[in-house]
Structure formats: C-alpha cells, structure tokens
Structure 1
C-alpha cells in the first residue's frame, strides 16, 4: 500500500468521486430552479444508469485496444471537458427548457465515460498492491469513499445554498481536472514504456462477451455474482423514495430523519471498512465464513429495520446493516480479485457493472410497485428474505471461495 501509483489512484479517485457528488447536487439544484419538476430531477439518475449500462456493454472492446491507464485518462479528461461545456451552456442558454435537455445530454455523456472508468479503476488496484495486502487496500479505499459520501452530500448542499448550483459545477470541473493529473502519474506494472498489456484482439462480439462467459463458467466468479445480483435486488429498499415513505409512514418523523438514517448507514460502512483494515489478516484466513455471516447479518438488520417503529432502534439497525454490508463487500471484492487473472479482470468488472445496473434498474420498479401495493414494511421483509437466500447460497457455495495467500495468481 506504500506504492506511489496506488496513492495516485486512490487520491485521484477520491477527488473524482467528490466531484461527481458535487456535480449531482449542483445539477439537481439547477434543474429544480429551471423546472421545479420532480420528474425532470428523477431523469438524472435514470439517464445515469442507462448510460453506464450501455457503456459497460462494450467497454471490453476498448480494454482490448487501450491500456487501462489511458482509458482512465480519456474518461477523466472527457468528463472535465463535458462539465466545462455544461457550465458554459448553462450561462449561454439561461433558465429555459432547452437548458434541461442539454444538461441531460451532458449527464448521459459523463455517465457513459464513467461506464468504462469504474471497471478500469477497480481492475487497476490489484495491479498496484501485493496480493497479501488486497483486503487491507480494498478496506482503505472503501473507508475513503464512505468518508466522501458521508460528508459530501452535506457539503454539497451547503455550497449550493451559499453560491448556487452553477458555481458548484465549476468546482467539479477543477476536481475532475486534478483527478486526471494525479491518475496520469500512475505507473501500470503490466505496461512497460509505450507498450500495453493487450493480447491479440478478438472480434468485437467475442471481446464484449468474454467477461460474461468467464463469470458464468468459473464457479467462484459465478457464485460471487449470484450474491451480487441478490444483493442488488434487495438493496433497492435503501433508495431515497422508499426510505422517505418509511420515515413518514413507519417512524412518523419529519424528513430530517431520512438524513439521520443515511448518516448512520455511512457510519456503519466506515466502521466496517476500518475493521477490514485492522483485521485484514484475520479476514484473509476466514474470508468465506465472513461472507456467510455478513450475509445473514445484513438480512437480520434489514428485517429489524423494517419491523421497528422506534427511531433510535432504526438508526442502530441502519448502522448495523452498513457494518455487515461493508465487510461483505470487501470480502467479495477481494475474492473476485483473487479468482481471475489481472489481464481479464477489467472485462469481468465491465460485465459486472452492466449486470448490476440492469438488475438495480429493474428492481427499482419492482420494489416501487410492492411498496405502493403492500406497504413499506412488506418491502423490507421481502428484501430481508432475499438477503437470507443470499446467505444460504453463500453457505452452500463456501467450498468454492478462494482464500488467503494460497489462492491462484491467475485464474483462467
């Protein structure tokens, strides 16, 4: 973890994530100022998910053609340029409806660039960190990300209130450019000089399906992604729309409690990441068992959260969910990185990104219907049941987990 390139990666990614968060807050403020419409505001996350799904679909073609570092730089400088154009367009067009459509177009472009940047960033980490430090490194990156998430929304809201959405987008431009500069200083150990790690390029269709095929054919990867899918389905209950109904109808509290619940959740995530850093050696020795116990833990926390009407207890369940969820996420991430070769890992992450985006988008509609039809408690009970099934599946598949230092360096 003392590798300079790793420091450039996590610092650059932290600046980029902070910029992305400010950018969303700023855009929401601008769109609300122009339209006052919740529907137009809801279009931002919809367009984001759609663009990332499309981009993730053919990201493997780019990964066969270009080095990961170059893809990260193209994405980050492209986002910087798009943000700059967005701000200029906002000032040129003013508060008219056309501005909203331009904003949505830029959101699509920026999210499209993110569609291959995120898998490339995830795949770069195990190249820069020794295998026996992967658990600690993944936990550290998770803690940094959760600190940004915990403080970023509040900071973004304060900045919008003080200087306005347009000025916040300017700050995002600066953060995106700084992230690009840092990422440019990374050195990929699989790339020497001007050469890249790419192999003979397969046909486009073969390249696009390679990550999917690997996930399906390799037992450990298939098991990991079945758990990811089940988690993504159940995780929809934590979106703002469902939590808002829960706070209003179950806790009978004002909207501020939505923020308290989110804060306790992120504190739990940070605690889980800290435990991962401090106990990385122990986790490496018991990574399969920890995945199973964490799966049942988040199921229990979700059930307790949905059933209680006591606000303080809801905060405890939310924090407990975050703790178990982070430990499980670090375990799954580390096992995935130990189950596939460094050369093929970007394609696995690209397939994963598209899969999770598709599942999460469809599940949002499903759980929205369940909430309207049966009530928010039923939604959390259903999510807890799905997470319990995930735990049972993890328990039954525990013999497939790669663990510790004995895991193969390059799974084919």
Structure 2
C-alpha cells in the first residue's frame, strides 16, 4: 500500500509542506533583501536585469538534468542537498558582507551567490513538484496545490515585512544568517518524513543522462496537450514580468524609495495569492482544469491593465492584491494538469521543463522589459502586456480541442 492510498497521506503531506514553508521563509527574506538592496543601491533596470538573469538562467540550464535526477534518485535527498547548498551560499555572502568589502564587490558577491542559489533551486523545484503526487491522491491534487499556494503565500506575506524591518534596523547579513537557520530546520523536518523510493515508476537507471533528457523532450513534443500547457505557462510568465517583477522599480520611481512602500506592496501581493490559493483549496477549481487556467490568465491581464493605470499608492496596492489573487488559478491549474495527465515515470522531467519555462521566460522577459524600463514608462508596459494576456485568455476559451482535454476524469485509486 502506497502512502497516498493509506490513511497517513494527510499527515505526511502536512509534514512535507511544513518543511518547505520553513525553508521558503528564509529564502524569501533573502530574495527581498537582495532585490531591494540592488534596487536602492543602483536604481537601474540594467542591474535588475543582470540580477534576474543570474537568479534564473542557471536554474533553467540545470533543470534539463534535474528532471532526470528527480526520476532516478531519492527525491527527499535531492531536496535536502539543494537546501544545504543554498544555505551555504547565504552563509558565504553573509561572511563576505561582514568582512567590510566595498559596495561594488558586495554587488558582485550578490551576483555570484544568486547563481549558486539558482542552481540549488533548479534541482529542488522539480523534486518538490514530483513528490506531491506520491503523497496526495489524484482527486485531491487541485485542492492541495491551492492550499500549498495559500500556505506559501502566507509565509511570503510575512517575509517582506520581516525583511523590511530587519533592513531598517540592521543590514543584509542578518537576513542571510536567518536563511541558514531556516534551511537547517527545514532539512531536519523533512528528514522525519519517510517515503518509499519510487523505483517502481520504471525509469531505466542504466540509460544515459542525455538519453533520458531527450526522452523527456520527445514525450512533450508527442503529447501536444502537455506541450501546449507548458507553452501557455511560459507565455504567461513572459508577459507578467512588467506587472509582476518590475513593481519595485516602478514604486521607487513613482512613489519614492521607501522600504515601507515596498513591504506594503509585497504584502498586498502575497495576501492576494494567499486568499486566492485558499479559495482554490476550498473550492477545488473547475473540473475542467483549462477553464481554471483561462480564467486565471483573463483576470490577471485585466488587473494588470488597472495596475498600470494606477497613480495613487493605495489604489496601486489594491490592484496588486487583485492581480495576485488570480495567480494561484494559473499556477494550480497548470500544476494539476501536469500532475494528472503525465505518467509517473515522466513527471520529474516534465516538471523540470515547467521550471525551464519559468526560468527561461522570466530572464527573457527581463532582458526585454528591464532595459525598456530605462527608456519608456513601466506603467505603459503593464497596460500593453495586460491587454495581450486578456486577449490570449479568450483564445484559450475558443480553442475547443485543447479546452476539452482539460476535463478531469476520475480514476480508480
């Protein structure tokens, strides 16, 4: 009897989510601290682009192989190793800052550490996503994905306030040491979770690494529904860059350089994601997963336009809340489609390609919109990309063949 068909799946899932939320809190503190530090020290779209490329491009590259490792090896071990590497990178940067180096060298150190942290995240992400279907019954995946999104957003809701407070009272090294501590706790909690190895999924351990990567690519090309879902997800990430990842720069230019404004903006965003995820967790989404996905893209696009039109900070944060409320619809629906439709032996590789779409389209978006942010107003880019997403969502509804394949079909457990 597997974990997900026994009565223990709820407690196992809870322990797993707790371990990931603990490490997420420390990582989120570092993420905000690094972005805000670079924003205030440089006020440059180019620097933000460099930081984004170093944070996501290595993750994209290693994901090609991380998916195979996820299908071959113990997923819990991979998650813990990745957490440990990320924690060591934070420790290195903290000691580097404390050594009294000049500002330009600290910025270089941040770039180097961002690369290391990105590599660790590239290994961890597909392993986490592939482990959930091992723990959770298939008919509960949409709800658990929604709850997971809500709990993560709850953790991240507190992170910007904590990061802003620590930065106002101290410096970035304090946050880095906290990240090391949360990683150690998260690793310990995950070690308490016992999960049998997934040897039964049928991966050929004697096959070559490159051969398994090619097999994953071939699978996605053959399965047009899966491939199209990944393309929709990547397109969404690319066009969400101005409204999702350049807001700190817009706030600094439009409302002034204030940790309070940045904290309130991030809190509004994560509050929206938290309640949106909770809503999905309680409701479970539409039985047609593509319908949930399309509505998520539709609402995001519409609210992105409103966000770009906002000139008062309170109105800006209100639309930031609403735009973020729609994100769990996109994330949970995309994740659930892959968890339900992809065979177990391919899930690690498919989820690695989902991570590749995120880590590839994000830097691509920053490479396009980041430099443009130094030439044209960010609010104009938000209005344009939001309008395109709104139209794109309508096209998903009109694509009958793809839309009909998103229906959840209950299977015997």
TM-score, length-normalised on structure 2? 0.84
Aligned match for 1:348, one of 320, 341, 350: 350
Instruction: Tell me the distance in 2 between the aligned counterparts of 1:95 and 1:350.
Output: 37
305-314 vs 329-338, which deviates more?
305-314
Does the C-alpha gap of structure 1 residues 79 and 290 become closer, same or farther in structure 2, counting only changes over 3 Å?
Answer: closer
What secondary structure, in the 3-state scheme, does the structure 2 residue paired with 1:338 have?
helix
Change in 2 beyond 3 A, CA 1:169/1:375 = closer
Change beyond 3 A, Cα 1:27–1:197? farther
CA shift for structure 1 position 295? 2.4
Contact map agreement 2:230 2:357 (CA 8 A) in 1:
no
Q: Whose RCO is larger (CA < 8 A, sep 6+)?
A: 2
Residue of structure 2 equivalent to 1:177: 184
Which of 318, 341, 347 is residue 339 of structure 1 equivalent to? Answer: 341
Q: How does 1:66-105 map to 2 (within 5 A)?
A: 66-91=73-98, 93-96=99-102, 101-105=108-112
Correspondence for 2:214: 209
How far apart are the structure 2 equivalents of 1:90 and 1:309? 37
Does 2:59 match 1:52? yes
1:266 aligns with 2:270: yes
Range moving further from structure 2, 214-223 or 66-75 = 214-223
Please state whether the residue corresponding to 2:341 is helix, strand or coil. Answer: coil
The answer on 1:363 being equivalent to 2:369 is: no
Change (3 A) 1:165 1:323: closer
Mean alpha-carbon deviation: is it higher for 164-173 or for 354-363?
164-173
Q: Deviations over 1:194-251 (max 9, x none)?
A: x9974334322222233333223212212211211221111101245455337755xx
Asked whether 1:221 is paired with 2:226, we answer yes
Query: Which stretch has the larger CA shift, 367-376 or 149-158?
Result: 367-376
Equivalent residue number for residue 205 of structure 2: 200
What's the C-alpha RMSD, in Å, of the aligned pairs? 3.2
TM-score (norm 1): 0.85
5+ residue gaps, structure 1: none
* Distance in structure 2 (CA, Å) of the matches to 1:112 and 1:289: 34
**Of 374, 381, 384, which aligns to 2:383?**
381
